[in-house]
Structures are given as C-alpha cells and as structure tokens.
Chains A and B, each alone.
Chain A
C-alpha cells in the first residue's frame, strides 16, 4: 500500500496505465479484427471518395466549391471524421454487456474509480486503433485526393488534441448510454439512435452542407464535437476557429464526465445484479 504522495501517484498511474495496456493486449489477441476494420475503413473511404467526385463534378460548377469545400477537402474531411467512428465508436457494447451479464459484480467491487478505470481500459486500444486508421487514411487520402493542403506540424498537433477530445467524449457519452442497462435491459436502441445522429451530424457530411436550421440545431448538441471538430481542424479551420472548436469539445467533455458520474451514482443505488 502507498504511503507517500510520490508512491501514491506511482500506484495510481500504474493502475490506470496497466488498465490501458491490458485493454490493448486484449485487442491484440485477435489480430483478425484489425484486418476487418482496416478493410472496412478503406472501403468506406474509397466509396465516399467516388461519391464526392461525382457530386463535385455535377454540382460544384466552375468554382469547384460546395459550402466552402472542394473535392479534395471533402474527401480529407471524410477520412478524418470516420477515424472518430472507427477508432472510438464501439465502447458501448462491452460496457452494456458487462452490466447485462452481471459481470459488473466484479467491476464494482474493486478499489478504483469505475468510470476512470473503464476509460483507461477502453482508450488504450482505441488510441492504437485511431493511429492505425490515421496512417491508413493518410495513405488512401494521398492516393485518392492528393496530399492534404496547408497541413503543417501545428495543424497536426491540433488534430491529435481534437481527436483525443473526440475519443474521450465518445467514451463518456457511450458509457452514460451503456449504464442505462442498470435500469433498462434492452438499451441498444439508444445507442443505435446515438450512432445515426453522430453519422448525420458531422461525419458523413460536413455540417456546412446541412440546411441553416439543422446547422443551428446541431450546434446545440455534442455531435459536432465527435467528428466535425477534428475533421474541420484537419482540413480548414484557422487558429480562431480551431480554438473555438476545441473549447466546445472541452466543454462537452466536462459535461459528459459529470453526466457519467451522476448516472453511475444513481445506477449504484438502483443496482440489481442479474443472476443473484
């Protein structure tokens, strides 16, 4: 047991660090999963690059722009936006299953922050996934749309920060949804709605492509912070816009953390464990 602050910090860092490493090791146990995800992501990017090519050829006119995006920018936008979905889009299932199966008995009885430990365990493999898709996306994007324009070290750093925030926000929103399994046995429908909204609001299309009212409505939700913010930072945002996007992401992330803790506390009070 730890007695000094240094020893305590080391013990806590080791606890959550090893949780992330264990999550990653579990993910690496099935390398076949990577092949499937890499193939699917590549296919999505290829199909959407064809769709955007057709759209820009028929609708962009002489300027070559739609809502401020040209063909190459739209393809790069999609490549980055999908990283949030492929890298951070599957936390819900494992968490909901743990609650439904009663496995939560072990998870709740350990000396750690339930939310914090799961964050570390989920983000370890998710960050590696995101890095893989980032590399694949870079390769495919360069082949399909040419090298990204105006992409220097500053923008790369901002993109990584924004992706980290997007991934964390994805985790906390999905955990809050997954924890509804403490009350409702079949909660997959919530996640299905969440996924579809996240796809429509900022993943498949940049938000600028939506009608004005939909844009205004989207701005009141956390969905633009999931995919739109990192994608916009990667392809178009200047420093003021980038700062605003990251600030909004931080605000939503704080809100989601508070929401998760609140749901967790409520869930613990109402917990009944399946199978006794």
Chain B
C-alpha cells in the first residue's frame, strides 16, 4: 500500500472577476462575472512509507492546494487521494489523528500564549494521555532546543524560534506522515539550516514519511531523497534527488570581487560577465576586471579547485557560490518538456505531409 496516493487530483476555484473602473465595478454588483482557476490540473503520484519527498514548484504552482487536499482541508474538484489508506475527505478526523502539518505562513500555536500551553492543548486535541504527553513534550523540547521559549508568549518569539516550536507542535502526536508547506519561508540562512537539520532528524528518529513543499532548493537538497516538481498545476518531474541534482542542479553560479584589477583566463570557463570598477580610467592592463561572474558545470569542474584558482589571481574582497534558482531549473525543465511535446505534435503532421508527397 502506498502511504500517499494521488490519482488525477484536480482543484478548480471559482473567483470573481473585479473589473477596472467605477461603472464597471457597479455593473459587476448586479451582474457578477466569475472565472474558473485551475489550481491543480490532475496530479498523480505515489509516496512510499518512510520516504522524504520534496514537492516543489514556484509560487502559485499548486503545491499548497495539493497539500490541503491531501490533508482533507480542501475537497478535490475531481480525482482521488488516499493517505495511509484513508480518504482525506470522508475519513478526515481519523486521518487527522495520524498526520501532522506545518504551514510556514500560518501558526498553529496560540499567539498570545506560551508554546507550553499550545502543546498541552494540542496533546488534548490528539487525545494523548497526560503522562505520555509529558514524556513526548520533554523529548521534543530537548530535540528541538526550545526549552528557553516554552514559557514565552508566541508573539514574542522570533520567526525562527516560532517555526521550531511549530514543527515540534506538529510532531507532538508522533504522526506517521508529516506535511510541511514552506516551513522555511521568511527564515534567515542560519535559521533555515537549523530547521532543515531538525526536519532531517525528526524524519530519522520518528520514522515518519515527510512530504515537504518548498520553493527553496536548499530545503530539498539537504532533507529530501526524492523530488516531485509541479508547475502550472501539473507534475513535470518525479525523480530521485540524485538524478535531479545530476540533471538540473549541476550548475553553480560563482561571483568574485577583487581588491585590484586582475586579468586572467580560467581553462575551460568563460565569465558570463566582467566589470572593472572605476570604468575606463581604472588602473590596469587591457581586458582587466575587478568583478566577474561564472556559470560552472559541476560535472566538469570541481568547485574547491576553482575557488583556489580564483584566489591565486589576487586579493578577493567577496566571493559567492550560489545554486541555480529553482525557478530557472523548473523553467528549463518545463521549456524542454513543452518543446518536446511541440515536436511530438508537429512530427506526425510533417510525416503525413511527407507521406502524401
């Protein structure tokens, strides 16, 4: 049995069209116009027990809507879903007992109360016996390092501290499946790293299946073993992280800034952009620059060796190594896919023209 299964899951919303202008606005009061928005266009996938799956896509791709259908919050327009063998709609309460959810943009903790109060109430909601709840809470407090925040009202916690408490709260009833919707949204780099480590540990320690949505590539690289990429409401990629990394995450973006103008060439790598600070009047040989950007294929070049080579050229003021933005990866995957579809569609037509000649 698959732990999570979606079959042609579709969600269409009806939204009111608000026309521009005062008169048009008045007219829409008596004759409102609606538009159908297909948030999710029939996604299908399966997740096995213990998997840590990244469900990725840019904003508006349909990730959150899919999670809400899988957790029983939204009813699908068509298609079906099954989580732990239960229908999220008809078995909502039974399913809720066995799953946990974190929505990064919302809070499940009572805003004006300390997390300890929220944990006590969440424990009661999930019908955990008081003794067991105490033990579980102590375990999570230690694991998540949230002891100092347990008696501070949630409204006074930083976002990073709150998210740690949110995730601990979602695990209070030891769910078999944990749904996380953008858990690192808005966090700084250090807080993101901490949250990812905690998620990884939670999945390992509790053995829970994790279904994580994010538009942050770092989340999936560090935590997940498999990636599902959704775009415009459709699953466009379903493969292991290893394959995805090899295929799509093979490029790194390196930016370097030197104290003095330099002039050099790296074998096999051409800078995508160079800049000489101070412009034409700057002191330096022809073709010299103080800043350069490179796009590096990590299958052909080793990043540490490259950084050493850059460091040998002069005094470095700043150096950045970045992943390719997820939006770019998805766009290229999607462009390749639609291009292939266009070719497939065109081929029979061309063949039939050829055949008729």
Interface, chain A (partner B; CB < 8 A): 1-2, 11-12, 14-15, 18-19, 22, 25-26, 29-30, 101-103, 105-106, 108-112, 117, 268-269, 271-273, 275-276
Residue of B nearest to A12 (CB): B127
Q: Please name all residues of chain B whose beta carbon is closer than 8 Å to the beta carbon of A276 when the two chains form the complex.
A: 60, 63-65, 181
Q: How far is the CB of A263 from chain B (nearest CB, A)?
A: 16
A15-B124, A109-B73 known, 13 other contacts, Cβ within 8 Å: A2-B127, A12-B127, A15-B125, A18-B124, A19-B121, A102-B106, A108-B72, A109-B71, A109-B72, A111-B94, A272-B74, A275-B64, A276-B63
Asked whether A268 lies within 8 Å of B75 as measured between CB atoms, the reply is yes
Q: Which residues of A contact B153 (CB under 8 A)?
A: 29
Does B45 make an interface contact (CB < 8 A)?
Answer: no
Query: Bound state CA distance, A210 and B92, in angstroms?
Result: 49
Residues of B in contact with A, size category: 35 or more
- What chain B residues lie within 8 Å of A29 (beta carbons)? 112-113, 153
Contacts of A12 in B (CB 8 A): 127
Known: A18-B124, A111-B96. A105 touches B112 (CB 8 A): no
Q: A15-B127, A111-B96 are in contact. Are A26 and B112 (CB under 8 A)?
A: yes
- B73 and A273: CB pair below 8 A? yes
- 21 inter-chain pairs at a CB distance below 8 angstroms, sorted by A residue, are A11-B127, A18-B120, A19-B124, A29-B112, A29-B153, A103-B106, A103-B107, A105-B73, A105-B101, A106-B101, A106-B108, A109-B73, A109-B101, A111-B125, A111-B126, A117-B125, A269-B75, A272-B15, A275-B64, A275-B105, A276-B64
What is the minimal beta-carbon distance from B209 to any residue of chain A, in angstroms? 17
Closest chain A CB from B104 CB (angstroms): 11
User: In the complex the two chains form, what is the Cα distance from A117 to B71 in whole Å?
Assistant: 19
Residue in contact with A272 in the complex, picked from B13, B93, B105, B124, CB distance below 8 Å: B13
Selected from B13, B106, B126, B127, the residue in CB contact (under 8 A) with A105 is B106
Closest chain A residue, CB of each to CB of B15: A272
Q: How many A-B residue pairs have CB under 8 A?
A: 82
Closest chain A residue to B130, Cβ basis: A14
* Given contacts A1-B97, A110-B125, A273-B68, A22 and B110 within 8 Å (CB-CB): yes
- Contact of B144 with A by CB under 8 A: no
Identify A25's interface contact among B63, B68, B75, B117, CB under 8 A. B117
Residue contact A22 to B101, C-beta cutoff 8 Å: no
A106 to B94, CA, bound (A): 16
Query: Cβ of B103 < 8 Å from any Cβ of A?
Result: yes
Closest 3 CB pairs of A and B: A276-B64, A111-B96, A11-B127
Q: How far is the CA of A103 from the CA of B242 in the complex (A)?
A: 36
Tell me whether A110 and B96 are in contact (CB under 8 A). yes
Known: A105-B68, A109-B73, A268-B75. A22 touches B121 (CB 8 A): yes
B103 touching A105 by the CB < 8 A rule? yes
Q: Would A26 and B110 count as touching, CB distance under 8 A? A: yes
Contacts of B117 in A (CB 8 A): 22, 25
